Structure 1
Amino acid sequence: MLPMDKQHEAKLGLELATKRQEHADLDAAIATLSASGLADATLLQRLKKRKLALKDRITELERHLLPDIIA
């Protein structure tokens, strides 16, 4: 993999932080809705699907920003 320039690395770092926060917010919303007992099953399913997509993007960003170092 080619090394990234600092501007691109910073942009990906910012996106990573944003996605992590959105993931945490969705996790809290899902927990609150589930605990309330009033949640629409379709809404919960959509939120969980969005959370999973965010997790996939987070993993991808981490792979780019924190490459494996072979020891």
Structure 2
Amino acid sequence: MTLSSHLQELKRKHETLSEAVELAQRSPATDDLEIARMKKEKLHLKEEISRLSTV
């Protein structure tokens, strides 16, 4: 896997997770801990994308 394809995959995962967080926040039945976990994972992906983009 090349660096650019890896970055594209990370960006795709970040976008998918972003949509899932938005949907979960609109649903009153969603557990706050699950939303926090998704946000943390989303931040981790963003940091990884940023780190790899500066290489």
Structure 2 length as normaliser, TM-score?
0.93
Q: Unaligned stretches of 5+ in structure 2? A: none
Greater helix percent: which structure?
Answer: 2
- What is the alpha-carbon root mean square deviation over aligned residues? 1.0
Query: In the aligned structure 2, how far is the partner of 1:38 from the partner of 1:28?
Result: 17
* Cα-to-partner distance string for 1:12-32 (whole Å, 9 max, x where unaligned): 111100000000000000000
Instruction: Give the total of aligned pairs.
Output: 55
Among 6, 21, 31, the residue aligned to 1:30:
21
Q: Unaligned stretches of 5+ in structure 1? A: 1-9, 65-71
Using the aligned pairs only, state the percent identity. Answer: 29
Using the TM superposition, name which of 33-42 and 16-25 deviates more. Answer: 33-42
Is the radius of gyration larger for structure 1 or structure 2? 1
Q: Spell out structure 1 runs of 4+ moving beyond 2 A.
A: none
